[in-house]
Structure 1
Amino acid sequence: MTQDKPELLAPAGSREAFIAAVQAGADAVYLGGKAFGARHYAPNFQDEELAWAVRYAHLRDVKVYVTVNILVDDSEAISLVEYLRQLYMMGVDAIIVQDAGVIAIAQKAAPNFPLHASTQMTIYNLAGVEFLAKAGLERVVLAREVSLADIQYICRHSPVEIETFTHGALCICYSGQCLMSSMIGGRSGNRGRCAQPCRLPYQLVDRKGQPALDNDAAGEYLLSPKDLCTLELLPQFIQAGIASFKLEGRMKRAEYVSVVVDTYRQAIDRYFSGKEFVVSPHELKNLAQSFNRGFTTAYLLRKEGREMMSDRRPNNRGTYVGRISGYDATNRMATVKLEEPLGTGDIIECWVKVGGRVNITVSSMQLEGRPAAYAPAGSEVTIPVTGPVKISDRVFRTFDAKLTERARSFFSGDEIQPMGVTVTVQAEAGKPLEIIMEDEVGNQGRAATDFLAEPARKHPLTSEGIAKQVGRLGNTPFVLRELACHFQGELMVPVSEINEARRKAVEALEEARLTKFHRPALPPLPPSQFEPALKKTAAYQKKPLLIVNTDTPAKAKTAWENGADVVMFGGESFTHTDFRPEDYREAVCMARAFQRQIILSTPRITKEWQTHKVRQDISLFQELQPDAIAVSNLGTLELVRRLSTCPIHGDFPLNTYNSFAIDFYQSHGISSLTLSPELNFSQIEKIVGCGYPVELECLVHGYVPLMVSEHCVIGSHLGNLQGERCERPCCQKDFWLKDRMNELFPLATDQFCRMHVLNAKELSMLPHVGQFGRLGLGRIRIEAKKGSVAFVSKITSLYRQLLDQSNTVSQEEIQTAEHENITRGHYFRGVL
C-alpha cells in the first residue's frame, strides 16, 4: 500500500520564524494572531502581518493555520466573531480550537471555516475523534500521551485527519487539563498565559516534610520533561497514516525553526525517495544544538519514567563538547580537551561542580600555541574563561556560530527553493511588447508595455538582453527556467518598459496562483446573535443542591448521612484499588435507601486500552439507572451517548467557560455541567443568568486537582521500576511536592497509575456559600476523594447547615474547618 506524504507543520511566533518555516520546507505553518492564542507571550502576528503571512505562504503552496486555542469569555464573543470572519476572508486555511464554545461560534460566524481540534481538547482515543468528526471538525491533534500503537489504531479507523506532535517541548500534564499556573499565580494556561510552574524546582517529601529522594539520585526539576524527538521514528509515523507531523516551538527563535524544519523535511523526503532510511548523528546533533533539554520519545513506545525527565535542568542544555583538562587561575585561562569541534563565536557553558554554570563566549582560542578560529575533535584548546573552573568539569556548547549562520540563511537571504517559470516574450512593430510568465502547474501571468515597439536604430532587442531583464526575479518566489523570444524584425523597447511589464507579469502570476485560495464574501451577521440574553428563570431561584464527590462506599454513605443531596461515585479512585461492579451496585442501593440522587462517574482519562472496561462500566450503569453518568472527556461522552439512555453530566475537565460551550454540550446530550473552576463570580452570574435548562454546578470545597499526568514522580523514583512494573510505593505512604515557597502539593495516584497533583491550598467557600444561591446556581460540589470519612462528615454537615440557613453554625466552626491553608480559588479574582 502506498503511503501519502504527511504534511510537515511548523511553528512561527515571529515574521522571521515564519519565513524560516516556509523556506526550510514546511507544508503548513501554524501561528497566533493578535488575540485568542495559547502563546500570549510570543510576538505573534497583527492583522497586516497575518495578511502578509497568508499571501507569502499561499504563493508558495504552503497552508496557514491560526491558533484560536484558548477558553473564551462571553464578553469576548463579538470580538471573536469579527476576528474569525476576518481570518476566513483573509484566506487562513484552518483555525485550531480548544473551547467547545469557540467551535459553536465559528460554525455560526463562518460556517465553512475548517476547524482543527487542538491538543488542548485532550483527545486520546478513537471515540473522542469520532465525536469531533460528528461535530464538524476536519482534523484532530492527539494528546502527546498517546502511544504509537494507539496512534496507528486511531489513524486506521478515523473519519478525519489525525495530527500528532513529532518534536519539541512536552507538558507534564495532559494539555488542556492543567490548572497549576492558574491557581498558583492567576496566569491560566487555558487562556494562553502559562507561567510554566512545571519548570520550577520541587522536592518530593513525606508526611513529616522530609525529603523522600537523595539529592544525588534526583534533580530538583521533578516535573520538567525532556523534549520530544521522533526523527528516528518517522517511518513508523508515516506507516501509521498520520496526516500531519507537528513541530512545537512558537516561542522559539527563527534559527531553531530553520534547523528543525529543515531536518525533518529532509528526513521525510529521504523516506519517500525509496532509499534506505537512516538518521545521521549529525542531524541529531543539529537538533540538539538548536535547543534541547535532552531528548525522549515520551509515551510513544513505552512509559520511560525518569528517562523522560530533565530533572537536573529545565532549560536548554546545549551539546557536550569536552572536558576541562587544565586551568590557569591567575590568567583565567582554561584548556579544554575537545570531543566535538569548537569555533570562535560559539558560546559554551562549563558545568562546574561548585557554583553552577560558567558561561563563556569563545572570542579567541589557542590551538597548539597558535591563534585559531576552529579546533577539531580530539584537540586541546586554550580559551579565556569568565569564572573559576576545575579539571574534569564538563563543557557544553549552547550556541553554535556556524550552525546559526546556516540557519539564518533560511530567513535572511534569497529564496531557498524558487519556483521555476517559463517566460515567453513577443514583440512586433507598432504593438506592445508582451510578457507571458507561466509556472510549473500552468498558472499564467500576462503583461504588456505601454510603449509600442519601434524599429531599432542602434540596439535591437536580443534574447540575451531580454533574459537579463526578465530574469530579475529577486524578492519573488520565482526563478527563470526557460525563455522563448518571438520578435518580428529588429525592434526597440526601452528597458524601463520591459522591467515594468515584467513586474506586472509577476503580479499577475501571483494573483493566478492565489485564485484557488479566494473565498466568497460572508453574508452579514448581526452581532446581537452572539450576545447571550440575560433572563432569570424561576427554575434557578432555589436552594442549590449539595453534591459530594467520593471514591468509597463509606464516604458515599457518610455524605448522605450528613445531608448531601447527590453523591458522585466512581471514576478515579485515590484508594489504590479499582471500582468493582459490586461497589457501584452498593452505592446505587444506598442512594435509593436514602432517597437521594447518585451520579456514577467515569474516569477523567480513558486511553484506547481502557475503552473496553469503560464500555463495560457504561453497560452496568445503564442497568443500574443512576440519576446521571458523569463524563470528563469527549471520548467517554461519545461512548455514553451510544451505550446508555441515562442523563449525562459533564464534569469540569470539559472546560465549560462560557455560555456557548453550554449550548454546544447541551446540543450533544449533556443535561448538567460543572463550570470551569477558573471562572469568577461575575462571570458565573452572567452565565447562570442566561437561564439554561442545563443544571450548572461549581466546585466549592476540597483539594482541586491541578494536574493529571501519565508520569508518576513517586513511582519513577521510588518504584524500583523493572520495565513498566512498579512496586507502588504510593500505597505505603503519602507524598507531597514542596515548592520554593515551601507550599506542599498533595500527590494522589489512581488505579491506572496516573499521578494527580492537587492544590497546595484547600478550596473553601464556607463563608460565601450563600452567594451561590443568590446567583441562582443549581448545584454546589465538595471534592472529597482525597478526604477521609471524618472530613466528609464534617464538611458535608457544615455546608448542609449553611444551605439550610441554620443558626447552629458558628463562625468559630467555620474558622476551625478552614484552618490557615485555604483558598477562595478564582471566585473573587478570575484569571488572566
Structure 2
Amino acid sequence: MKRITKDTIELLAPVGNWDCLRAAVANGADAIYFGVDKYNARVRAKNFQMDELPEIMVYLHKYNVRGYVTFNILIFEQELEEARQLVNACIDSGVDALIVQDLGLVELIREISPDFPIHGSTQMTVTSAEAVDFLKPYDIEVVVLGRENNLKQIKTISDKSQLPIEVFVHGALCVSYSGQCLTSEMWGGRSANRGECAQACRLPYDLIVDGERKEMGNIAYVLSPKDLAAIELVPELIEAGVSSLKIEGRMKSPEYVANVVSKYRKAIDEYIAGRDFSPSEEEMRELEQSFSRGFTYGFLKGTNHKTLLDGTFPKSRGVYLGTVKKVLKDAILCQIEAPLKRGDGIVVDAGRPDQKEEGGRVYDIRKKGKKIDGEARDGLIEIVPGRHDVNLTKVRVGDKLWKTSDQQLERRLQKTFETEQAYRAFPLKVKVTGKAGKPLVTQWIDEEAEINVTVESSVLLEEALKRPLTVDFLGEQFGRLGGTIFELAEIELLVSGDVIVPVKVLNKMRREAVEQLLSKRQERQVYEKNSKEKAVVKRESNKEPAKLISLCRSMEQIEASCQTDVDYIYADFEFTKDYPAAVEVAQGYGKLIALATPRIHMPGEQGVLNGILRANPNAILVRNLGALQYFLDKNVEVPLIGDFSLNVANHKAVNMFLNRGLARVTPSYDLNIEQMVDLLEAAPTNEMEVVIHQHLPMYHTEHCVYCTFLSEGTDYTNCGRPCEEHRISLEDRVGFSHPVRVDVGCRNTVFNAIDQSGAEYINDFKDLGVAYYRVEFLEEDGRKVKEVLGLYREALLGKRNGTSVWKALKSTNQLGVTRGQLVKK
C-alpha cells in the first residue's frame, strides 16, 4: 500500500462503523480514520474492536484505501501495557498508520518498531514549523495542523517542512485549540484529551462586562462555532502544500460520510484535471442538509471573529427555508428560499433552542390553497405539517423555518454504498505478447494500486487458419470483469503473426489475473519490529527540599510574592511587553523569575519569544512544542520548564521531554490523584513540578470574545483593543462567572471561576519526592497572594496539614474552593 507523501493529495474520511466505512470507500476516500475500543478521541462513537483490525485492513486494501487508527488521547501510566498491545495489534494487522497525541506513546511505538507510520494528531497542538521540527527525531510521517492555522501560515509551515501536512476541511469546529481544552475535565471529569468531551462550548453563557450583564438579545451561544466547510478552498489548500484533506465526523451517519466525501472527491478531481471548480448552490445545500450549524471557513482565510459563530443556536439546523409570514388553520405560510417537498423534515426556530421545538415531517405543500406535486423551489408556500408533529398555536410570525432532513437525498446517498456493485471499478491495462509454439503471456497492470501480475496460457499458441487473435476479441474475453472490482481500460496486443487460443483458456487467464491482483492488493503491510525492545533507563530521583513557586499575572502579585519566602516566581502576563519590569522587580528582591511563553506559537511570532530572551529571566516556562524547539535551536542557557499544556501523562513522556532539554516537567491537568501518583511513582520526581493551587484554564481559543461582542472590528487590526479597557466573564447556567483573559496573540483563555486546591494531597507528593510546588494566581490582590502563599508554605514545612489549608481557603474565598480534576473519578 502506497504511503502518503508530500506530493500526495489525499482525501481522508471519518468512519465510526462498517456502514460509514463502506460509504467512505464507495464515494472516493483515499484513506479513512477510525477508533478502536476506548483509546481514541471519540469514545462515545461505536468504534471498532481490536479483533476486527485484520478484516478492516483487508477490506480497505482491496479497494486501495489506506486505514489509519486514531490513538489520539493521553495515555495514563497504568494503561501503557494495554497501549502496547493495541500498537502491536495495529502493526500485525498492517494498519497504515496510528494517529497519536501522546508523545509518551510515540516513544513507546518507536521502542516497538522503527518504521511503523505515526501521524501527529491535531491534539498535539502543532501550529508552527518549529513544532513540526520538534517531531522529526521520531520519524513522524504526517502532521495534522491546528484548525486555527490560516492558508498563509499553512504554506509557510509546508514550505519549511519535508513532512506531509494534513488539514481539516469540513465538519464541526472546536472553539478551543485541540489538546488545550480542560472544560469537560474540570466540570465533569470527562476529559477532551481522553475522548470524552462534554461539549460545554455548546452551552449558553451570559456575557458579564465589568461586572454588569450585557444585553445580547437572542445571542447566548458565545462559544459555539459554526461548522467548517472549505470545499471552495480546495485549490488554495492544495497549492498551500496540504497533502491530506481531512473530514471531521466519526460520530456522524453513513449518509453524511457519503455526501461529504463525494463532494470533496469531485472538488479534488476537478483540481487535478486542471478545471475550475465551484460547488453549486444545490451541492452546498446538500452539505448543509447532512449536518450544519451554519458554514464558515473557520480561520483558513484569516481571522474574522464576526463570522465564526452565529450565537443563536448550538446544534445542527440543516437548510434555512425562510421566516414564518402567517400561521394558517392547518399550515405555515413561508417565503421559502430553498427547495421543499412532501416528506422533508422541518423545525420551527423560535429563538429558544434549549427548549423543545416544534417540528416534524411535511405532509403537504400548497400554493394559494392548491396542492403542489413534486418540489417547490421558491415563492410563498403553505407548508402543511403532520397532524401530530407541529402545534401551530405555538408558531409565531417571524419564527425561522429550517429543513432538517431530506429522505430523497438520504435514499440517493444510501444507494452509493448499499452494495459493492455500486462502487467504482478500477481500470486495468493488459499487455499481450507471444508467438506460435509459445504460451500467450499477459501482463495485467493495476496502475492505481501500483501493482501488476503476469499470467501465461496453459497451452501453446497455434497459427490461426481463420479468425486470428485480435484486440477486439481479447477485449471481449478479458473485459468480462463484472462482479469484480476491475474494468478493462486498455489492451496492447504485441503477438508475432496470426495466432489463436481457446476461449476457455482466455477466461481462465482472466480469472487467475483477477485473483492474483486482489491477493496483491490485500497483502498485509509488513513493518520491522525490534527483536528486543530498547531498555529504558529509569531516571533516578534525589530527595530535595520542597520549593514553592508563585505564578503571577500582575505586577501587584509579583511585588507581593517577592515579599514572601517563595523560592521562584513565574510571570504570566497578558502583555509580554511588561516582562522586563517584572524581571527587574523580582531580581531586585533577589528572587529567581521565569517568564511564561504563550500557550500557542504561530508562524511569524518569534518576536514574542525573542522578547522573553531579551528580558533576561532566570528560566522560561515553555507551553508549546514550537517555543521549545525555538529555544533549543537558540541553545539558550537558562533552564526550560515544561508546563501542563505539553500534556504529559506518563513517565515515557516525562523522560522524552527531559531528554530533549527541559529542566523539569509539569504533569497534565487531566490526571486525577491516583493517576498522578502512578505517574510520580514511575518518573524522576525531583524533576517534576505539580500545581497545587490555581484557577483552571478551561478553554484556550483563537476566538476573541472581546472583539466579537465589544467591538465593530473583525480582528486585532481593527478591534480597538477593548481587552485593555474592559474585563469579560462568562456566566454559566449555575451562576458562576468565569473570567476571560487575553494573551499577547489576542487568544482568549476562559478560567474557572472557583479556585482549585490540591492542599490535601501535598503529603502524598512530598512522600513521592516531588521537589517543586506551584501556586497560581489570577485576579487576587497583594494581600491575598501573601495569605495563600503563607498557607502553602506552612503545609510544605509540615506546620499545617492539607485539610487545615483547605478549610482556611474555603472560609476566605467568596466562591469557596474546589478539588478540581484531582478528585478520584
- TM-score between the two structures when normalised by the length of structure 1: 0.87
Contact persistence 1:447–1:508 (CA under 8 A): no
Contact persistence 2:75–2:102 (CA under 8 A): yes
Residue 358 of structure 2: aligned partner:
358
Contact persistence 2:444–2:454 (CA under 8 A): yes
Cα distance in 2, alignment partners of residues 425 and 239 from structure 1: 40
Range that drifts further, 750-759 or 372-381: 372-381
Cα distance change on mapping 1:795 and 1:499 into 2, 3 Å: farther
Residue 456 of structure 1: aligned partner:
none
- Structure 1 counterpart of 2:682, from 682, 686, 690: 690
Q: Is 1:184 matched with 2:187?
A: yes
Q: Which letter maps to 2:257? A: V
- Structure 1 counterpart of 2:759, from 749, 752, 766: 766
Cα distance change on mapping 1:698 and 1:449 into 2, 3 Å: same
Secondary structure, aligned partner of 1:519 = coil
Cα distance in 2, alignment partners of residues 678 and 498 from structure 1: 64
Query: CA-to-partner distance for each residue in 1:640-679, whole Å, 9 max, x for gaps?
Result: 1122122211011001110010111012111201111222
Range that drifts further, 363-372 or 666-675: 363-372
Query: CA-to-partner distance for each residue in 1:777-832, whole Å, 9 max, x for gaps?
Result: 111110114322222111001111222222699676454245653111222315xx
Residue 261 of structure 1: aligned partner:
261
Question: Aligned residue pairs: how many?
Answer: 796
Residue 579 of structure 1: aligned partner:
578
Cα distance change on mapping 1:64 and 1:813 into 2, 3 Å: closer
Contact persistence 2:303–2:714 (CA under 8 A): no
Distance apart, 1:352 and its partner CA: 3.8
Contact persistence 2:116–2:528 (CA under 8 A): no
Cα distance in 1, alignment partners of residues 529 and 301 from structure 2: 46
Query: CA-to-partner distance for each residue in 1:542-564, whole Å, 9 max, x for gaps?
Result: 54211111134442232232221
Contact persistence 1:347–1:359 (CA under 8 A): yes
Distance apart, 1:284 and its partner CA: 2.1
Runs (5+) with no aligned partner, structure 1: 453-461
Cα distance change on mapping 1:191 and 1:813 into 2, 3 Å: closer
Cα distance change on mapping 1:475 and 1:523 into 2, 3 Å: farther
Range that drifts further, 219-228 or 79-88: 79-88
Residue 513 of structure 1: aligned partner:
521
Residue 747 of structure 2: aligned partner:
754
Distance apart, 1:402 and its partner CA: 2.8
Secondary structure, aligned partner of 2:688 = strand
Cα distance in 2, alignment partners of residues 75 and 348 from structure 1: 49
Residue 546 of structure 2: aligned partner:
544
Secondary structure, aligned partner of 2:158 = helix
Cα distance in 2, alignment partners of residues 776 and 475 from structure 1: 67
Q: Which letter maps to 2:600? A: I
Query: CA-to-partner distance for each residue in 1:468-517, whole Å, 9 max, x for gaps?
Result: 99766555422345689999989797xxx9999866653321122345x6
Secondary structure, aligned partner of 1:609 = coil
Range that drifts further, 304-313 or 174-183: 304-313
Secondary structure, aligned partner of 1:154 = helix
Contact persistence 2:364–2:371 (CA under 8 A): no
Contact persistence 2:36–2:47 (CA under 8 A): yes
Cα distance change on mapping 1:400 and 1:529 into 2, 3 Å: farther
Q: Is 1:417 matched with 2:424?
A: yes
Residue 560 of structure 1: aligned partner:
562
Residue 272 of structure 1: aligned partner:
272
Q: Which letter maps to 1:629? A: I
Cα distance change on mapping 1:156 and 1:484 into 2, 3 Å: closer
Contact persistence 1:544–1:772 (CA under 8 A): no
Cα distance in 2, alignment partners of residues 227 and 305 from structure 1: 14
Cα distance change on mapping 1:364 and 1:119 into 2, 3 Å: same
Residue 801 of structure 1: aligned partner:
794
Contact persistence 1:5–1:272 (CA under 8 A): no
Q: Which letter maps to 1:631? A: V
Cα distance change on mapping 1:562 and 1:371 into 2, 3 Å: same
Cα distance in 2, alignment partners of residues 22 and 764 from structure 1: 50
Range that drifts further, 196-205 or 48-57: 48-57
Distance apart, 1:202 and its partner CA: 1.2
Q: Is 1:43 matched with 2:46?
A: yes
- Structure 1 counterpart of 2:412, from 402, 406, 415: 406
Secondary structure, aligned partner of 1:740 = coil
- Structure 2 counterpart of 1:76, from 75, 79, 84: 79
Residue 658 of structure 1: aligned partner:
650
Residue 817 of structure 2: aligned partner:
822
Contact persistence 1:85–1:110 (CA under 8 A): no
Cα distance change on mapping 1:345 and 1:448 into 2, 3 Å: farther
Contact persistence 2:579–2:595 (CA under 8 A): no
Cα distance change on mapping 1:220 and 1:771 into 2, 3 Å: same
Query: CA-to-partner distance for each residue in 1:155-175, whole Å, 9 max, x for gaps?
Result: 111132222111211111111
Range that drifts further, 806-815 or 548-557: 806-815
- Structure 2 counterpart of 1:9, from 7, 12, 15: 12
Range that drifts further, 57-66 or 480-489: 480-489
Residue 620 of structure 2: aligned partner:
629
Contact persistence 1:222–1:311 (CA under 8 A): yes
Residue 637 of structure 2: aligned partner:
645
Cα distance change on mapping 1:801 and 1:319 into 2, 3 Å: same
Cα distance in 2, alignment partners of residues 438 and 808 from structure 1: 76
Range that drifts further, 83-92 or 377-386: 377-386
Query: CA-to-partner distance for each residue in 1:221-268, whole Å, 9 max, x for gaps?
Result: 111001112222223222211222222111211111112121122112
Cα distance change on mapping 1:31 and 1:813 into 2, 3 Å: closer
Contact persistence 2:809–2:816 (CA under 8 A): no
Cα distance in 2, alignment partners of residues 603 and 437 from structure 1: 57
Residue 716 of structure 1: aligned partner:
708
Distance apart, 1:768 and its partner CA: 4.0
Q: Which letter maps to 1:654? A: L
Q: Is 1:439 matched with 2:457?
A: no
Secondary structure, aligned partner of 1:146 = coil
1:23-34 matches, cutoff 5 A: 23-34=26-37
1:112-261 matches, cutoff 5 A: 112-206=115-209, 208=211, 210-216=212-218, 219-261=219-261
Residue 296 of structure 1: aligned partner:
296
Residue 455 of structure 1: aligned partner:
none
Q: Which letter maps to 1:583? A: A
Residue 373 of structure 2: aligned partner:
372
Query: CA-to-partner distance for each residue in 1:558-603, whole Å, 9 max, x for gaps?
Result: 223222111112x443xx673243432333333x3xxx43323222
Q: Which letter maps to 2:252? A: K
Residue 735 of structure 1: aligned partner:
728
Q: Which letter maps to 2:580? A: P
Distance apart, 1:715 and its partner CA: 2.9
Range that drifts further, 317-326 or 290-299: 317-326
Range that drifts further, 26-35 or 774-783: 26-35
Distance apart, 1:326 and its partner CA: 4.7
Distance apart, 1:752 and its partner CA: 3.2
Q: Which letter maps to 2:625? A: L
Distance apart, 1:339 and its partner CA: 2.8
Contact persistence 1:677–1:698 (CA under 8 A): no
Cα distance change on mapping 1:603 and 1:803 into 2, 3 Å: same
Contact persistence 1:572–1:604 (CA under 8 A): no
Cα distance change on mapping 1:805 and 1:510 into 2, 3 Å: same
Cα distance in 2, alignment partners of residues 503 and 492 from structure 1: 13
Q: Is 1:605 matched with 2:563?
A: no
Query: CA-to-partner distance for each residue in 1:161-205, whole Å, 9 max, x for gaps?
Result: 222111211111111011000110011010111111111111112
Range that drifts further, 723-732 or 127-136: 723-732
Cα distance change on mapping 1:802 and 1:438 into 2, 3 Å: closer
Instruction: Give the RMSD, CA atoms, in angstroms.
Output: 3.6
Runs (5+) with no aligned partner, structure 2: 1-5, 461-469
Cα distance in 1, alignment partners of residues 656 and 582 from structure 2: 33
Cα distance in 2, alignment partners of residues 186 and 727 from structure 1: 38
Q: Which letter maps to 1:507? A: E
- Structure 1 counterpart of 2:22, from 19, 24, 27: 19
Secondary structure, aligned partner of 1:303 = coil
Cα distance in 2, alignment partners of residues 153 and 401 from structure 1: 44
